[in-house]
Every structure is written in C-alpha cells, then in structure tokens.
Amino acid sequence: MRMINIEDYNQNYMQLAKPICDAKKRVLLGTGSTIHPKYKEKLIQLGIRYLFIEDSKSKGISMEEMMDMPTWLDIISIVENAYKSAEAKSPLPLTDIQKSVKQLIEEVSKRPAIMLIPTSAVDQGLSLFAHSVNVTLLALQIGKKIGYTFAQLNDLGIGCLLHDIGKAGATEQEKHPETGFNMLRAHREISLISAHIAYQHHETIDGKGFPRNLSGEDILEFAQICSIANDYENLVSKEGYVPHEAIEKIMALNEIKYRHHIVLAFSQGIISYPPGTNVQLNIGSKGKGIVTRVVSNPHRPIVRLIDINKEIDLSNQPTIIVESILEESYMD
C-alpha cells in the first residue's frame, strides 16, 4: 500500500487500498475499487486530494507508522460530536473524549515515529475534526519524546483534541482561543492546563502570537507542543508541503516561535520521507527509488532502487542522501 496524490491516480493499474468516505463517514468507494475519471473529478470537488492504493510499486511498502483508518474515523466522529455539543451550548461528550485520548496515547506508545493520514484524504466536511485528531497524535508523540507521564499525556491529549473547540462558538478567528478556553474550563472534569492549551496554542515565544501576545516562559510548554503540532499539520494537510519541507519550516522557527527542546523532540519522532515517497538519491542514474519503510531513523528510510530492484538502508549509508522528491510521472 502507498499514498498518492489523487491527480496521479491511474485506473488501469491502481486499486484502492483504503476506502473513501464522505462527510457522514459513508463509504463512497471500498477497498479494491477502481475510480472512473468522472468519479475522480467528483472526489476532487469534495476536497479529497490523497488516496491509498495498491499497485505493482506498492509491494513491500510498510505503513505501520500510520494508525488504521477505521479507528481514526471513529475518533473524528467523536470530535465532530463535541463541536456539535459546543455549538448547541450543551455539555461536551467527555467520556468519549477521554476514551479517545487514551486510545491515541496507546497508538503513539507502540510506534517509534508517526505518519499522519492527511486530512485531505477525507471529505473536506471532516477536515476540521481530522485536523484535531492529527494534531493530538503529533503532540502526544512530542510529549512521549520529552518523557511525559501518562497523566501528563492525558492532559496534553485532551487539550489538543479540543484545541480549536472555540471555533464552534467564536465569530472571529482571533477570538476562538479565548472562547475555547471558557468552554473547557466550564467543565470541572477538564484540567485547567488542558483548557489553557486551547487558550495559548497561537501564542509564540517572540510575543507576536495571539490572543494575548504572551512570550517566553509565560507560555505553557503543553501549549507550545500543541502550537508546533498545529502548524506542522496545517503545513502538510492544508498548504500541501511534503513532510521533510514542513519539518524544515518548523525547525527554521526554533527559538523564534518555539522553544528549542520542543523542536528537538518534534524532529525525533516525525518521519521525513514516508513509505511510498518517490525519491532521487545522490548516486546518479541508478538513484531513482521508492521509500519502502522506516526502521531506526525517522529521517533515513529504506529505499528500493527501481532500476536494479535493490533496497538500500540510508541509516547505514551516511554519504547517500535524498536529493529530491520525484513526481509519479517520473517513475514510469
């Protein structure tokens, strides 16, 4: 299985490896289906940009760093219900939220690194809720690398899963952090630190964030973790950056927007070149390949060289680097 841009889909030799769902989580196309060109255009209109497919190139590609889609969709539904409750000014479904966070902690604890399902792999009607799930996965991965306890990860996870809940009640973008904070602190079961994640996740250590222009140590570490996870997820899912470029943009803001130790923990648990990525290595004409898996180093994957059908582990080859990412059309 591998992930491709929907524009690169070819019905002649590609089949879906994961189902495509609409905003109500109904399956539009199931595993094993092919996509007619007219139907592909409809999917693009729904905001779906990425597909998971099987073809001759996908053999041997491992995506174990990615959580399974049914579980991901179930948690997205719970976040969506939380937003509906917030809009209706009803109590949040905290039992479901707490169970979801525990499940996400388990997902992160069993993986050395994280690979996200892009929010643009589902109907755009789910993107806000999918974004919250992805941000939580990233934040928990950072917290794990820092060495947080389960209790700390739990508070971090709840705050991150609901970090944008204020958008269900705020009319202006810059007011959603405070609105979300007030919503969360109204629930005594939610810790104040989780509520402050919603309040502070747009603050930056240089004092140029919002809503209160906090700076330096005035910003909670948990909120900083949410901030970096939020920014990375937006870069990948909304702005279309490939992971290694998004990581570079985050690292360029070290000690400007984010504290150094958080950037370091982030970089240790995020995969630069996800399995299925087409790459050109710096070894000349034979360097065209596809990433098959990531084992020991999240930035040094195992690559299958296309022309000679041989795998090379970049973690054992320090002089060999990824020179560029190749479009699907260059792999034929």
- Token pair 């269900």 is found at 168
- pTM of the full predicted structure? 0.93
pLDDT > 80? residue 289: yes
269, 302, 322 - which closes a domain:
269
Q: Is residue 28 part of a domain?
A: yes
204-261 pLDDT per residue, tens: 999 999 999 999 999 999 999 999 999 999 999 889 899 999 999 999 999 999 999 9
80 and 32 co-located in one domain: no
Helix (H) or strand (E) holding 159: helix 150-161
Distance CA 261, CA 308 (A): 41
**pLDDT score for 332:** 64
Residues forming a β-bridge with 280: 288, 324
Q: Is residue 64 part of a domain?
A: no
Mean pLDDT of the chain: 93
Q: For the domain that residue 206 is a member of, what is the CATH number?
A: 1.10.3210.10
Name the region of 251 (left: φ>0; alpha: ψ -120 to 50; beta: rest). Answer: alpha
**pLDDT score for 240:** 87
Residue whose C-alpha is closest to residue 176's, from 168, 186, 185, 184: 168
234, 251, 269 - which closes a domain:
269
Helix (H) or strand (E) holding 153: helix 150-161
What per-residue string of b and e applies to 249-274 under the rule 16 or more CB within 10 Å gives b?
Answer: ebeeebeebbbeebbebbbbbbbbbb
> What total number of domains does the chain contain?
3
pLDDT > 90? residue 22: no
261 to each of 221, 224, 268, how far by Cα in Å? Answer: 10, 11, 11
**Residue 30, domain extent:** 2-58
Report DSSP letters for 235-279, one per residue: HHHTS---HHHHHHHHHTTBTTTB-HHHHHHHHHHB-SS-TT-EE
52 and 102 co-located in one domain: no
